[in-house]
């Protein structure tokens, strides 16, 4: 049985689902928000903070790729592209041991917490040993990811990835993909193991992730989605123009068009990237209720393209954000890049806000809601939700109020994360994770070995 621990936070301001409120007292019991009082008086033992917000889910991560952050920014002999980046990524993936992955994931999840993320959706596909054989425990690598989540205190939504082919039409996988590949039988065994792993971790959730339309054939897509057990279903889609033209060559349909015609896409689905869509595809996808899992920093880094955000949001589409390749971990940076890419494309300002509304607030509120839906976990400062919150430090901008604070946090540089709580436990204090030194020492030893081997 869980130990019953109880604590209370008192904030001068808090962003609740109903909007801004003053003098908010949040009572936390056993990791869950037990009560929220507004216009309240603090009790003598309350912790005091200036402003608290809901923490956010990071809906798309490949943890091992954090090891290559900044190491693929040298131009090759000809034009560089996503596909040459992917070759570097495969080489990295083939060198990492389970210990290496755990050390890198721990550093990454610590950085996510420091950035204001309280949950990670780990789109986990580095499953097998470097020679492609299964580890004796088929979930060895998933256990290392889960160990990193537990060590840092971040909530985990584990999304085991089914990956079987190298391209449309069921082509054989290539050598560099050997650590990712499963049959439907071995994937089912992996899912069983992951289900019991997740059941042992407070607040953890399980979903499923057919990697992409390149990596699964239609029968496999349906078989894998039927293994979701009611959890979320994530898939990479329409990230690159080559993928769109290859999909058309294979099926005469564009990737999102094909998926909407052939799979039961609904609000349990999260379509990662969905960058290249026609207006019709964009409106159709919005109507399904599926989340668009946007990774604006990675999409910019890889030269993917720009998500049709204005049309999607006008049609009632829901979005969340992820850090994908983990080249840079920044919650406000992802939201800024999302809005700025729209501005550059449309030559307009404040694109992803309602008329008269704050862009920063709309981005944060949308991404909190979309991230929660995509990761199968409620969020927001509300009774019964996990006590996942952050406080901001306004020392440099004490003159700001309400939405100005959010706009400044997203677009300027005077607001910093102060504390982050996950399940009521304070994992970040004054901007630093409570176990930063130990986690970082292990990461540096691992990186020295990986990069200089
Ligand atoms: Zn991805």
Per-residue pLDDT tens for 383-419?
A: 999 999 999 999 999 999 999 999 999 999 899 999 9
CATH number of the domain at 55-373, out of 3.20.20.140, 3.30.365.10, 3.40.250.10, 3.40.50.1970?
3.20.20.140
What is the architecture of the domain spanning 4-52+378-433? Roll (2.30)
Q: Is the pLDDT of residue 38 over 50?
A: yes
Give me the mean pLDDT over the 211-234 stretch.
Answer: 98
Active site residue 324: yes
Q: Which of 324, 388, 403, 418 is catalytic?
A: 324
Q: Is the pLDDT of residue 4 over 80?
A: no
In the reported structure, the alpha carbon of residue 296 is separated from the centroid of ligand 1 by a whole-number distance in angstroms of 11
Q: Which of 124, 128, 273, 276 is catalytic?
A: 273
Q: Token pair for residue 406? A: 């959010």
In the reported structure, the alpha carbon of residue 297 is separated from the centroid of ligand 1 by a whole-number distance in angstroms of 12
Q: What is the mean pLDDT of the chain?
A: 96
Whether the CB-CB separation of 47 and 370 falls below 8 Å is answered with no
Predicted local distance difference test score (pLDDT) of residue 1: 36
Is pTM beyond 0.75? Reply is yes
Active site residue 266: no
Does 4-52+378-433 match 55-373 in CATH topology? no
In the reported structure, the alpha carbon of residue 163 is separated from the centroid of ligand 1 by a whole-number distance in angstroms of 13
In the reported structure, the alpha carbon of residue 236 is separated from the centroid of ligand 1 by a whole-number distance in angstroms of 6
In the reported structure, the alpha carbon of residue 403 is separated from the centroid of ligand 1 by a whole-number distance in angstroms of 32
Domain parsing of the chain, residue ranges? 4-52+378-433, 55-373
Give me the mean pLDDT over the 440-453 stretch.
Answer: 92
Give me the mean pLDDT over the 265-287 stretch.
Answer: 98
Closest CA to 196 of 267, 268, 143: 143
């Amino acid at each position: 049985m869980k130990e019953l621990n109880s604590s209370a936070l008192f904030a001068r301001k808090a962003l609740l689902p109903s909007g801004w409120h003053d003098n908010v007292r949040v009572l936390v019991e056993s990791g869950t928000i037990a009560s929220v009082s507004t216009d309240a008086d603090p009790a003598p033992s309350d912790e005091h903070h200036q402003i608290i917000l809901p923490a956010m889910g990071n809906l798309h991560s490949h943890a091992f790729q954090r090891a290559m952050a900044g190491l693929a920014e040298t131009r090759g002999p000809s034009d560089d592209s996503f596909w040459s980046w992917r070759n570097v990524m495969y080489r990295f993936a083939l060198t990492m041991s389970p210990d290496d992955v755990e050390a890198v994931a721990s550093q990454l999840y610590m950085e996510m917490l420091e950035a204001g993320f309280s949950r990670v959706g780990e789109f986990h596909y580095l499953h097998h040993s470097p020679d492609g054989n299964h580890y004796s425990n088929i979930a060895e690598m998933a256990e290392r990811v889960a160990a990193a989540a537990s060590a840092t205190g971040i909530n985990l939504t584990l999304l085991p990835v089914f990956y079987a082919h190298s391209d449309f039409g069921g082509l054989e996988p290539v050598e560099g993909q050997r650590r990712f590949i499963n049959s439907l039988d071995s994937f089912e065994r992996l899912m069983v193991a992951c289900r019991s792993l997740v059941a042992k971790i407070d607040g953890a959730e399980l979903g499923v992730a057919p990697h992409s339309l390149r990596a699964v054939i239609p029968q496999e897509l349906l078989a894998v989605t039927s293994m979701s057990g009611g959890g979320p279903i994530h898939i990479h889609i329409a990230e690159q123009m080559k993928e769109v033209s290859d999909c058309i060559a294979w099926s005469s349909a564009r990737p999102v068009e094909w998926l909407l015609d052939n799979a039961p896409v609904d609000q349990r689905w999260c379509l990662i990237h969905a960058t290249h869509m026609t207006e019709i595809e964009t409106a159709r996808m919005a109507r399904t209720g599926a989340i668009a899992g946007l990774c604006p920093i990675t999409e910019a880094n890889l030269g993917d393209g720009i998500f049709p955000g204005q049309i999607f949001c006008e049609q009632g589409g829901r979005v969340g954000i992820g850090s994908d390749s983990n080249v840079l971990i920044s919650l406000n940076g992802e939201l800024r890049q999302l809005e700025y890419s729209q501005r550059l494309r449309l030559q307009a300002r404040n694109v992803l806000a309602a008329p008269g509304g704050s862009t920063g607030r709309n981005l944060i509120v949308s991404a909190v809601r979309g991230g929660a839906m995509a990761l199968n976990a409620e969020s927001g400062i509300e009774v019964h939700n996990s006590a996942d919150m952050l406080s901001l430090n306004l020392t440099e901008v004490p003159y700001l109020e309400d939405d100005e604070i959010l706009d400044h946090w997203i677009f300027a540089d005077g607001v910093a994360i102060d504390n982050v709580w996950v399940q009521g436990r304070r994992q970040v204090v004054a901007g630093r994770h409570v176990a930063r030194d130990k986690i970082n020492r292990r990461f540096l030893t691992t990186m020295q070995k990986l990069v200089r081997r």
